[in-house]
Amino acid sequence: MPSSASIDRIVLVPDSSQVTNTLFIEDYKLISFFGRANYNLNDRYLAAVTLRRDGSSRFGPDNAWATFPSVALAWRLSDESFLSGNRSWLSDLKLRYSWAKTGNQAFGNYLWSSTYTFSTETACPQFGSRFVCTIRPSAVDRNIKWETTRSNNLGLDFGLWNQRLTGSFDYYVKNTDDLIFDVPVCGACNLSNHVTTNIGSMKNNGVELGLNYRVAEGPHRGLGWNVSFNVSHNTNELTRINPYADTLTPTRIPTGGISGGVGNTVQIFEPGAPVNSFFLCRQAYDNAGKPIENTYYTLKQNAAGDSTTTGCSTDRDARAFHDPMPKWILGFSNYMTYGGWDLSFTLRAHLGNYVYNNVASNQGTYQAITANASPRNMHRSVLKTGFTQENVLSDYYVEDASFLRLDNITLGFNTQLGGEAFRFFATGQNLLTITGYSGVDPTAGINGIDNNIYPRARTFVTGVTLQVR
């Protein structure tokens, strides 16, 4: 039995007449209207025009609706009389051009306002026997609008030797305005120190080439061999940052949060530089090529050349450099058959991409041994640097993460079993990666920041399929 003292401290639960539940509903709507017109004359002259009208509740009532048109034109040159004499080797040639305006509203729902009802007196106004508050529980920019991209694409499709070799070539330019991003604001400017808003404009341009070649077409279960190759090159640049009165840095927006320290970022949005460029101090080295702890080159040179400073001040010494996105992306796929056997594999390569190794910067110091907390494992980079303290704002940790990867390979055998189709196959994924990157995976992390200590899985799958009629 509980003592009388403990009974005195029991608080009775109020009955239902004294409690009012608060109902919170997050409501979001996207409405689209779409129309298209197509024109085709003898499969030689082709045109398509589309028009979209989209409305999103993620924007305020003044900016909810936007219109997105597009136009696509094509001319099949191989059907023209001035090329008809080349049909023995030129089986197809088509010129394409397209222009389109598209929109983006992919960001978290704003909590524009919410209504709460209380049955007891609060600071809210009274309506009858209830006290009703309408509050705005999140930071909002009431002028936020659709992010829009205007794309121009010029392309050429071709086929040679009765379509034995086919391919396509594209050149594109994309200009994006009113980029949607989360930016820092002063604490007294809104209901948070960050707000999602339109931050500026960006330009992308590049080329893409795709080829497919039928190497062999052996009859009667002879050798069949098909290979495909594609390559793309892209550059991007942040061209402008919108003036936004609440931002702490209206001409630069820090991004790329990392582990290590409090509130550190290693990337920047800065006009004239690629999006998510790294923004760090330039590490100083001794004559033997070893990094000097907590010592960096200044942006300004003296008469003798590079000058150094102690400590990294991003406002004074950091600069935007290196792009986390690859300059070149290459792919190669192969498919071969012979008799009942088939073999396929895919190779992929990224060239010119950089990664900030946050695992090394956060764990690559001898401080881990002497820390007040329990000792922890260190990254092997400490054997080269000898760092005793964290140097997370050093560009030493930005590495070339170019790689060549064998994404998958499949070997199969097809035969008959009891008059029914039978297939055995074995597949391996992520079998081989060739890279100079010192981390676990050159593709780990988001937008070029690797703080993942777990390797990508290498998987093997075998199986059989039996088709029974």
Q: Where are the domains of the chain?
A: 26-104+143-467
pTM value is 0.83
Does 26-104+143-467 carry CATH code 2.40.170?
yes
The pLDDT assigned to 232 comes to 98
Burial class (CB in 10 A: 0-12, 13-18, 19+), 355: buried
At 77 the three-state DSSP class reads helix
- Segments in the chain below pLDDT 50: 1-7, 113-122, 126, 131, 134-135, 245-249
Phi-psi region of 221 (alpha: psi -120 to 50; beta: other; left: phi over 0): left
The pLDDT assigned to 130 comes to 52
The pLDDT assigned to 118 comes to 45
- For 198-255, give the secondary structure using H, E and C: ECEEEEEEEEEEEEEEEEEECCCCCCEEEEEEEEEEEEEEEEEECCCCCECCCCCEEE
For residue range 359-395, list pLDDT tens digits in order.
999 888 888 777 666 667 788 899 999 999 889 999 9
Q: Which residue has the tokens 């497919």?
A: 212
At 420 the three-state DSSP class reads strand
